[in-house]
Structure 1
Amino acid sequence: MWVLGTISCVLLSFLNQFFWYRTEPLTITAISAQIAVVPLGQLMAAKITDRVFFKGSRWEINLNPGPFNVKEHVLITIFANSGAGSVYAIHVVTVVKVLYKKNITFFVSLIVILTTQVLGFGWAGIFRRYLVESAAMWWPANLVQVSLFSQNLPYFLRFSPLPQAKNTISHPSSIPIFTAYDKQGPLYLSKFFAMTYGVGFAALNATIVHVALFHGREIWEQRKASFGDKKIDIHTRLMRKYKQVPEWWFVCILLVNIAATIFACEYYNDQLQLPWWGVLLACGIAMVFTLPIGIITATTNQVFHHFITHLQVHITDKFMLHTPGLNIITEYIIGYIYPGYPVVNMCFKVYGYISMTHAITFLQDFKLGHYMKIPPRTMFMAQIVRTLIACIVYLGTAWWLIETVPDICDTTTSNSVWTCPCDTVFYDASVIWGLVAPRRIFRDLRVYEDVNWFFLAGAIAPVLVWLASKAFHSQEWIKLINMPVLIAATGMMPPATTVSCTTWIIVGFFSGFVVYRYRPKLWQRYNYVLSGALDAGLAFMGVLLYLCLGLENISLDRWGNDLDGCPMASCPTAQCIKVEGC
């Protein structure tokens, strides 16, 4: 388990970060490793010696304790999950070092990445009893992997090809006086851009109100039951036979990471600039929102992507958990309190937003172990080790590419495949929220002040649904209306391409309505397996196309590749003006 898990984590971390900087980012999911390790695990079980080393001592070890089993398979997948999800804090390193052209050392970068990743363990431990042990929190996303674990993968592999072979600003002292900004004019956003920010505001408030109205009593009862005898489901009852992870372990990790973060921000303030109170405020935001957002994710399978600020992430990184509008609210708060500091804005967003996101990821993995009956302490250790490995590999790969690829992230270089689209959008967000600041966009210096009304709209929407469910008790379908999901889906559609929407609508309608309604047994057996197969097939084909065609600079030339189908849209129409390519 440790060998294959480490290899899976290292390989996926390297490949995902390598492809992340490219113009068309590619994400290789954990399901790819989940399928690939089956023949390798069986081969190692058959060929590696079962000799016991250091027999009779404290360090006794057996390299081959028995046949390759499903629990080892699950733990290897847990390792792969860390390599499959991008390390968000890499954006901070890339933007500061490449786009802002400021100094940030490898050591400071490693501290930021490690603390943001591991900080989530603390929140996960605090809310584990609500989001893992509760039978109502069923985490539908885990059912894809559980379905694959339950299938006859060796039989499947017979038919698989796998067995074959800028000069910018980071401190107010260097900011041009804002009269220049006023002379240039306010920052204008497109209607969709502004609306998507508004939808993010609405989704955040809708999440809090929805959870309070529809799950408040359940949370309170779970809280009371945690201190006494309570009725538990069969999964929790079976898991209680294992030695549990003490809650103080999570608390210690949380406190140590907060202390390390404050130390890094104060001692290396010239590089990070985030004050100590900013760290505490970010942690407070993460703690407040982990439970409501975790409930939405665990019950609806909606792992909301952050709106517009990272629309490329929305398109490419399906398995990284994102949350409704929390990245926006962290940018909003620190941008209003501490305007003119784009680096501070980025760091605050990372600690306030990503630590909570990783808490949701760890909780989802705990629930997977809950379903598959993995010993909690083994799961805990696997999560710690895989996180440390992924952080080092992701940062090492990013640092290597930044130092060796000429003009990386330069969008003006023609025919460059290293344009870093996700990092460029992250940089744009730091300018909007950190440098220009929300006060000049959404508050008293108003350009888009009316967008703030979305906060109120988001809070009211779940109340209307709740009142309707109380007024019409017989209409059970009303309770199924989930306003955070509906609002969040609205926010995802504008930035996504047509293909991004139509493909999931067609597949989702066919599977979730046609097959579910007319062939329910077929749906129960193959729905989640098909979901995993589609993800794995896309990942394998993406790597195959890159290795076979991308390395040889071979591209398919067709009319669909041209985003501008009408030359008149960009070429001058006046006969006296000549432009190359028109």
Structure 2
Amino acid sequence: MLNLLGPLSVSIPVQRSLTIGSKQQPSSMAENALEHTSEPSDNSSIEQVQLTVPITDDPTLPVLTFRMWVLGTLSCVLLSFLNQFFWYRRESLSISSISAQIAVVPMGHLMASSITNRIFFQGKRWEFTLNPGPFNIKEHVLITIFANSGAGSVYAIHIVSAVKIFYQKKLTFFVALFVVLTTQVLGFGWAGIFRRYLVEPASMWWPGNLVQVSLFRALHEKERRPTGGMTRNQFFLIAFICSFAYYVFPGYLFTMLTSLSWVCWTFPHSVLAQQLGSGLSGLGLGAVGLDWSTIASYLGSPLASPWFATANIGVGYVFIMYILTPITYWLNIYKAKAFPIFSSGLYASSGHKYNISSIIDSKFHLDIEAYERIGPLYLSTFFSMAYGVGFATLAATVVHVFLFHGSEVWKLSKSAFKERKMDVHMRLMSNYKQVPESWFVCILCANIVTAIFVCEYYNEQLQLQWWGVLLACAIALFFTLPIGIIAATTNQAPGLNIITEYIMGYLYPGRPVANICFKVYGYISMGQALTFLSDFKLGHYMKIPPRTMFMAQVVGTVLAALVYLGTAWWLMETIPNICETALLPPDSPWTCPSDRVFYSASVIWGLIGPRRIFGDLGTYSGVNWFFLTGAIAPLLVWIAHKAFPRHEWIRLINMPILIGSTGMMPFATAVNYTSWIIVGFFSSFVIYRYRRNWWQRHNYVLSGALDAGLAFMGVLLYLCLGSKNVSLNWWGENLDGCPLASCPTEKGVIVAGCPAF
């Protein structure tokens, strides 16, 4: 599947913190609760918010409790570890904070009923208790904010993997730590600057948060067990146990369940059939995975995707994967038949892997003479198509938002800047002390200064100059507000990775690490800002004190960064040949698909440079026409919608989603998409339409349970068996069963293990 929201003292008052966590009897709390309500005219102008978000607040509820710190820290650490642990695996599962959001409920109630309610230092300023009463919804929200910090990936880890594993160059832990911390925390600065425009106005409603608000209310409302049914917590526990037990089969005993490609079994000696049928190395025709990690690895849980989005992704996937890619391949465009049809590898004209180390000089720059001698770099059909689709998606997003949401965004922008009308949620939040903007500015300045110092002092490792850091920050600063408005109102947020790669590739070619560092500082700092803003809006809806929210976000972000880097470093040091597919056993899960794509991008954009790939000196200059195609596609839909206004289904055609459907490929594979689309169809269309009550009660709970069960069994299998290299060595471990899917079909191209044509 991705926070911040004055002028008082720079420290959180101790007295207030201790009062929040102090012991109160439930009856006392009920009597003293200042529960505010509002008139209907005072409510949010957004109908979805009116129907979902409560318009009351109880400021006496304790928030900074012992339970919150224990469960929040535990959730953050566990999610950070598990997400990084699975990130290097073939099926890299991203475990969302919904798992923690549901799992901590029984633990919170257990702590509330079992921990001593003794008051320490009673009657003194430092009075506190470990158990201030029943587990409440505000504690739960703050725990989830902690979990959110560990739920998303730390993008800067890709830099560590690329330099240490693929380039095999020096990168010390100290330098890696500072790059990870600065890129993760830098977004606080942009979020703090723009929070008054992207969080406080009712028009900036961040629709994605309404799912979590609904889940919070469901988990904290008193629920009676239906006759012949189960409560949500009971359903979660049963689903969790089933997921935990089942994953022993695709995770260890019968790993072929990860990708069942029956076409390959039917035609074991046909290259064409295996190119079509392979779920891991081909087009995945008919391939399916009976493994939740296969289904939810890259696109997130299909149970959380509305049918509208699932349908657009399905149509786009079919068109790109089964029409555009085969035509390009069989017409042999860009010598396509000399390379695999689906691969993130980099190739020479002979069809063999490109020897990247031979074009790097002693200073870790591009050796132009060696590159011209060896020849240009080639991409597989789908990899080149993926960049074209990326170009088209960027253009389509801009045009689509302008045509379908332009007037809306303009009105909302004026509302954010000029109309300071206070709705009920802003009025209730005004009772709490706000976070001074100076806090955010201090964090921003400290991060920029630290980033410049590290990049300059350790330039031999990072290659990025001081002006590159400032330029990346300028790009992030420029785009945060407009993209933030789009994300907060339309739930669409175009990324900056292609723009940043392109800019740095032209300004500073021949330096791969400089390019990826620039991309991370420019792209992820803005992405982190949007994440922080979104979380702050969640706190805004749930009436969490802003300073408490700020503290949880800072601590959670720093803690998550440390755990992510520590886990990645541990895996790189303990797993032999991690990410090196040529040296790993065929059944090894440690193939690092996303890191290999990141490395390939660093070679394309950073080492060789866009001019020698997509520019006037490059082989793939024609791919730039995708920009024009992407710009025209939403225009055609808009014209059709205007011409046939009664056909509302036309407006449901969302070209940015449809064109960008395969944006997670090629590190995601065909079997990930086919399985995701099938499950999404049954969940968001069949069950939602014909079993609405079941879907409403159990759909999101089931998603979290499947995530959590798989995660814990996956780690258990690795610690008990995988780390000791215990394997079964039988045919059920033969993933995919399509050894010929990666073979070239060009006459005269000879590759080991492939038939000659």
The two structures share one fold, judged by TM-score above 0.5: yes
Displacement, 1:351? 0.6
C-alpha distance in 1, partners of 2:89/2:494? 26
Q: Is 1:345 equivalent to 2:515 in the alignment? A: yes
Shift of 1:422: 2.9
Change (3 A) 1:501 1:297: farther
Amino acid at match of 2:499: I
1:396 deviates by 2.2
Contact 1:100 1:170 in 2 (8 A): no
> Which residue is 2:26 aligned to?
none
CA–CA separation in structure 1 for the residues paired with 2:663 and 2:730? 32
Partner residue in 1 for 2:435: 245
CA deviation map 1:410-465 (0-9, x unaligned): 33334255443332332222111111111001111031111112222323333444
The answer for the alignment partner of 1:461 in structure 2 is: 633
- The structure 1 residue matched to 2:544, chosen from 371, 374, 381, is 374
**Equivalences for 1:533-572 in 2 at 5 Å?**
533-540=705-712, 542-543=714-715, 546=718, 550=722, 553-554=726-727, 557-558=730-731, 561-565=734-738
8 Å Cα contact 2:359/2:368 also seen in 1: no
Residue 335 of structure 1 pairs with residue 402 of structure 2 = no
Alignment of 1:356-367 (within 5 A): 356-367=526-537
What are the superposed Cα offsets for residues 177-218 of structure 1, whole Å, 9 maximum, x if unpaired?
Answer: 423322322111122211211111121122233333444444
Q: Counterpart in 2 of 1:142? A: 209
Please tell me whether the aligned partners of residues 117 and 355 of structure 1 are also in contact (alpha carbons under 8 angstroms).
yes
> 1:136/1:543 Cα in 2 relative to 1: closer, same or farther (>3 Å)?
farther
CA drift of 1:531 comes to: 4.0
Q: Distance in 1 between matches of 2:197 and 2:703?
A: 27
Residue 128 of structure 1 aligns to a residue whose secondary structure is helix
Q: Which sits farther off after the overlay, 275-284 or 228-237?
A: 228-237
Q: Which amino acid aligns with 1:347?
A: C
- Counterpart contact for 1:74–1:369, Cα < 8 Å: yes
- Please tell me whether Structure 1 or Structure 2 has the larger radius of gyration of its CA atoms: 2
Change (3 A) 1:172 1:484: farther
Structure-2 residue corresponding to 1:318 = none
Give the letter aligned to residue 521 of structure 2. Answer: Y
- Which of 436, 443, 468 is equivalent to 1:278? 468
Residue 92 of structure 1 aligns to a residue whose secondary structure is: helix
1:188 and 2:378 are equivalent in the alignment: yes
Aligned mates of 1:158, 1:500 — CA distance in 2: 26
1:448 aligns with 2:648: no
Distance 1:468 1:247, change over 3 A: farther
Could you tell me which amino acid in structure 2 is paired with residue 383 of structure 1? Answer: Q
Which consecutive unaligned segments of at least 5 residues does structure 2 have? 1-67, 224-231, 246-355
1:390 corresponds, among 550, 560, 568, to: 560
- Deviation track 1:321-345 (CA, whole Å, cap 9, x = no partner) reads xx64522221121111111000101
> What's the counterpart of residue 301 of structure 2?
none
Deviates more, 1:432-441 or 1:94-103: 94-103
Give 1:287's aligned residue: 477
Aligned partner of 2:507: which letter?
I
The structural deviation recorded for 1:68 is: 1.2
Aligned residue for 2:186, secondary structure, equals helix
2:292 equivalent in structure 1 = none
Query: Which residue number corresponds to residue 64 of structure 1?
Result: 131
Structure 1 position 424 matched with structure 2 position 596? yes
1:32: Cα distance to partner? 2.7
Unaligned runs of 5+ in 1: 303-322
**Structure-2 change in CA distance of 1:535 and 1:11 (3 Å):** closer
Residue 457 of structure 2, aligned match among 247, 267, 272: 267
Length, aligned pairs only: 557
**Does the CA contact (< 8 Å) of 2:425 and 2:540 recur in 1?**
yes
Deviations 1:484-530 (A, max 9, x none): 22221144466643332223322332333334444555554544444
In 1, the alpha carbon distance for the partners of 2:650 and 2:421 equals 28
d(CA) in 2 for partners of 1:571, 1:198:
22
Matched, 1:501 2:673: yes
Q: Kindly indicate whether residue 92 of structure 2 is the aligned counterpart of residue 9 of structure 1.
A: no
Question: 1:320 maps to what in 2?
Answer: none
The answer on whether the counterparts of 1:94 and 1:423 sit within 8 Å (CA) in structure 2 is yes
Change (3 A) 1:325 1:358: closer
For the 8 Å contact 1:114–1:391, the answer to whether it is kept is yes
| Contact 2:395-2:631 within 8 A present in 1 as well | yes
CA distance in 2, matches of 1:158, 1:25: 24
Contact 1:136–1:299 (Cα < 8 Å) also in 2:
yes
User: Are 2:285 and 1:112 aligned?
Assistant: no
Distance apart, 1:387 and its partner CA: 0.6
Native 8 Å contact 1:29 1:536 kept in 2: no
Percent of paired sites with the same residue: 68
The match for 1:483 among 622, 647, 655 is 655
TM-score in terms of structure 2 length: 0.66
Name whichever of 26-35 and 225-234 sits farther off: 225-234
Secondary structure at the counterpart of residue 374 of structure 1: coil
In structure 1, the residue matched to 2:390 is 200
Deviations 1:527-581, CA, capped at 9 Å, x for gaps: 4444444444543554465567646734584568343436798799xxxx9x999
Letter in 2 for 1:461: A
Q: In 1, distance between residues paired with 2:84 and 2:624?
A: 36
Hey, what's the Cα distance between the residues in 2 that align with 1:70 and 1:367?
16
Taking the aligned partners of 1:560 and 1:6, their CA distance within structure 2 comes to: 37
Per-residue displacement from partner, 1:299-318 (whole Å, max 9, x unpaired)?
5656xxxxxxxxxxxxxxxx
Equivalents in 1 of 2:378, 2:418: separation in Å? 56
Cα contact 1:200–1:325 (8 A) shared by 2: no
Partner SS, residue 155 of structure 2: coil
